[in-house]
Amino acid sequence: MIDLHLHSNRSDGSDSPTELIRIAHNQGCTTVAVSDHDTLDGIDEAKIAAQGLGVRLIPAIEVSLDWNRTSIHALAYFVENDSQLALELGELKRLRATRNDRLIELIQSHGIPITKDMVRLKAGSNLIARPHFAAVLVDLEIATSIQDAFDRYLGDGGAFYISKEKLTPERFISLANASSAITSIAHPFRNIISKEQVKDMIVELGALGFDSIESYYSEYDQKRQNWLASLASDLSMTPTGGSDYHGKFKPGLLPGVGRGDLVVPEEVIELMLERRRNKFGV
């Protein structure tokens, strides 16, 4: 079983990297990618856990990109800590910390008694992300659930939404290529609804040098997954897939199976490895 989209508490998941690997292993996963937002901080710990359980780990990262004034997500696989992509994302991580401080001030300005310590307690560390803010808003009875907190306050267009610094797709591809990484367009229907618009976006990003499309995804029915996989083939791209597991911050999802019916074909890994060999000679 394969899952190439997992988040730990080093970004906006709830499980430590060790716990994440253990849960994935218990679900039957044999190959996984820990793909935290903007950071590789959990990879070393995940590697130790994966080695102990006989799980193949692909170091990965998820990044927000600014495409045509729309925020899209991208994944990069086989990324190492000393790569050019990781180094540049380290600067984005610093800017993200500044954004968190501004977010606390914004929420406080609305008369809500939130503090950084409250958010840090939810995160369990200094690695604070929006789900941790959402959890505090639920505790303070400002929101009824994590999803409600995002819908009304923290998500795009919400009362407390603050955009974060993003790479352009061109810069992302340049850094990924310099890092011998394979790139994938994550959950393409995230901010775009129509198939025509999604296809236009994928065609444009594929022309820029993206390698893959996240075709197998927890929130997509089989028809949509098949369409994305077929489009990847038509554009000489490779499919990738995963659950987008975040632990308790995305209830109902499990590694490997998503909401119960996700299947990422085993051949996806070989296609990725073959593409990387042909592209970078590694």
Residues 128, 100: contact at Cβ < 8 Å?
Answer: yes
How far is Cα 109 from Cα 131, in angstroms, rounded to an integer? Answer: 20
Q: What does pTM read for this prediction? A: 0.85
pLDDT tens for residues 198-218?
999 999 999 999 999 999 999
How far is Cα 245 from Cα 8, in angstroms, rounded to an integer? Answer: 9
pLDDT beyond 90 at 126: no
pLDDT tens for residues 180-194?
999 999 999 988 879
How far is Cα 70 from Cα 192, in angstroms, rounded to an integer? Answer: 9
* pLDDT recorded at residue 97: 74
For 231-278, the DSSP string reads HHHHTT-EEEEE--B-GGGSTT-BTTTBTTT----THHHHHHHHHHHH
Report the run of H or E that residue 227 belongs to, with start and end. Answer: helix 222-234
Mean pLDDT of 19-46: 97
How far is Cα 117 from Cα 111, in angstroms, rounded to an integer? Answer: 17
| Residue 133 Ramachandran class (φ > 0 left, ψ -120 to 50 alpha, else beta) | alpha
Mean pLDDT of 91-99: 77
Paired strand residues for 37: 62
* pLDDT recorded at residue 99: 86
Give the orientation angle of helix 169-178 with respect to helix 195-208, to 10 degrees: 50
Domains of the chain as residue ranges with CATH? 2-81+167-280 (3.20.20.140), 91-154 (1.10.150)
Total Cβ atoms within 10 A of residue 177? 17
* pLDDT recorded at residue 280: 97
Report the run of H or E that residue 225 belongs to, with start and end. Answer: helix 222-234
pLDDT tens for residues 145-171?
999 999 999 998 899 999 877 899 999
Percent of the chain's residues with pLDDT above 90:
84
- Band of pLDDT at residue 98, cut at 50, 70 and 90: confident
Tokens representing residue 103 in the block: 């977010």
pLDDT beyond 90 at 129: no
State the residue for tokens 């997954």.
225
* pLDDT recorded at residue 127: 75
Q: Tell which residue, 103, 109, 110, has the closest CA to residue 131.
A: 103
pLDDT tens for residues 223-259?
999 999 999 999 999 999 999 999 999 999 999 999 9
Mean pLDDT of the chain: 94
